[in-house]
Chain A
């Protein structure tokens, strides 16, 4: 069974540029999460989807971050414009059972 797939694996951009990350969850997993992980810290939840509905986006900085999950499968996380402080790893996860999340390898963003 394929795991959670994320792309790109690495991205380097200059500040003020836009960037997008893509996530393909495990087939059949209705719940999808985007997490942010800064160096030396644990992951922090940005947004959670149940099918195509964002049910928890309280931690998503909506002035520059946006996310969508069309058709309740793949999801895209966008940052526009990127700032230096956005440099981090962006993790996508999916689940079908409470508490048991399957994470992708993450997308490492460097903003110069």
Chain B
């Protein structure tokens, strides 16, 4: 059974970089599929952040692209999200998830979600 578990600080200061880790178990990241990040807020609902393949091919939400980096560590079967220059608007529950074999996809396995609050 594929399982994803994200981790990272629950509180980030404005203007700093939000960093989250997603560990994948039950499936090798290098065996295929895109791996993505999605966030959820009461105001904007579910918002896709970006997807990456283990080869490095990535797709990002244009509204966040200038601030987002997703990267994969195949040796540890983890992938990562970095979101720079955060503001209160980036306060959300963040999920990591497995996409399909294509860059544009639905998500079949999700992490449980972690609340990240941006506040000084």
Same complex = no
